[in-house]
Amino acid sequence: MNKPTKLQQEMFAVIEDFQQSGLTRLAFCAQRSIAITKFHYWQKKYRDHSNGTPNGFIQLTSRKSHRSGELLAPIVLQYPNGVSLQLPGGTPMATLRTLLSLV
């Protein structure tokens, strides 16, 4: 995992402060003058970091069909922001779940 940046360290400390505050997200953000969208972004980053969710690239390889030996059809993931991933057919479900959770 990459070394956390100063901004990341600061925002993770803010998320931890929120968790101890007992306030709602809206009240906390208003008190700290933080945009709620920015808070949501960093809260997800914090959660992913805490859960060990990969935030880099994952190596994928093609698999051949067990029956015919032919390559399986690719899987295409289209994210709401327009990013499109073409994955090899037969990509493990665990990898697909991880990639889908990034939405």
Q: 47 with 69, same domain?
A: no
Number of Cβ within 10 Å of residue 25's Cβ equals 14
State residue 96's pLDDT score.
Answer: 83
**pTM of the predicted model over 0.95:** no
State residue 68's pLDDT score.
Answer: 61
Q: 41 with 74, same domain?
A: no
Low-confidence ranges of the chain (pLDDT < 70): 1-3, 52-71, 103
State residue 5's pLDDT score.
Answer: 87
Q: Quote the CA–CA distance of 38 and 20 in Å, as a whole number.
A: 19
Q: What is the pLDDT of residues 1-28, one digit of tens each?
A: 466 789 999 999 999 999 999 999 999 9
Number of domains in the chain: 2
Q: Which domain holds residue 19?
A: 6-51
State residue 41's pLDDT score.
Answer: 93
